Amino acid sequence: MKISCELIKDLLPLYYDDVCSNESRTTVEEHLLECDTCKKYLDSMNSDLIQTNAEKAEEQAKSNILKGIKKKLLRKNVMISAISVICAIAVLLGGFSLIFHYQIPIPYDNGLVSVKMGNTGMLDVSFNGDDYYCSHQWSTTIEKDGKKQQVVYIYYTDTIWTKHFSKPQNDKEYKYSINNSTLFDHGNGDGLIEVKKDISAVYYLAYSDIAQMSLEELLKISSKAVLLWEK
């Protein structure tokens, strides 16, 4: 009995997947020897499978590429976000430091600072302005009229906050003292010995880097210093 091509075509997928019975296999193979149409149909199944596998491989490759791109973009976005956060923190810290800690020397105005000798022999320095951030003092020995003198230079600094936003504290006394003596250790076991500094004068000189100046540089700008107290 001759088997129709339609029936063979129904069996070919099972034959191709090697899941048909031996009898069905024999029937299909005998038919294929005589029928070029069914043989071509089987060959087309092979071609379709090869093409399908190739398409799957190509799609998988594309998918892997997209996954790689997504991972790179994710890492890049995470890095950009981290850098943005760090920059924002740096800007905030920089702004905070600029507003609250960046020191601006306060120029001298008449009556801004007063100095007088106290009962203890120390020089009492009073700030008579509204507010300030920090007070600075630096002592050195200069030669004036052929004599060496111990002088003290002082100045006060503002910040943006104290200059523009801080409110004066009327109950606060802006005052400190300059010691007119110092403790010196002779190293002979007698301990510390108090030695008079014998400060001759106190000047106001509003230069933020005064402590780093050489004596020559200091003398050049000393004409700008305001005498606050003299012995």
List of E strands, the chain? 104-105, 113-117, 123-127, 134-144, 147-158, 175-178, 181-185, 192-196, 199-204, 226-230
Higher per-residue pLDDT: 209 or 8: 8
Measured N-to-C along each axis, helices 5-16 and 22-34 cross at an angle, to the nearest 10 degrees, of 120
Q: What digits encode the pLDDT tens for the residues 15-71?
A: 777 878 888 888 878 888 888 888 888 777 777 665 555 566 676 777 777 777 888
Q: What digits encode the pLDDT tens for the residues 178-188?
A: 877 554 454 55
Highest mean pLDDT among 13-22, 127-136, 190-199: 127-136
Determine the pLDDT at residue 26.
Answer: 84
Name the pLDDT band for 229 (thresholds 50, 70, 90). very high
Determine the pLDDT at residue 182.
Answer: 52
Q: Are 231 and 132 in contact (CB under 8 A)?
A: no
Using DSSP bridges, classify how beta strands 147-158 and 104-105 pair: parallel, antiparallel or unpaired: antiparallel
Average pLDDT over residues 115-141: 86
Q: What is the mean pLDDT of the chain?
A: 80
Determine the pLDDT at residue 114.
Answer: 92
Determine the pLDDT at residue 65.
Answer: 79
Determine the pLDDT at residue 86.
Answer: 93
Determine the pLDDT at residue 32.
Answer: 80
Determine the pLDDT at residue 183.
Answer: 46
Residue spans per domain, the chain: 5-98, 106-230
pTM across the whole model: 0.58
Rounded Cα distance between 87 and 215, Å, is 42
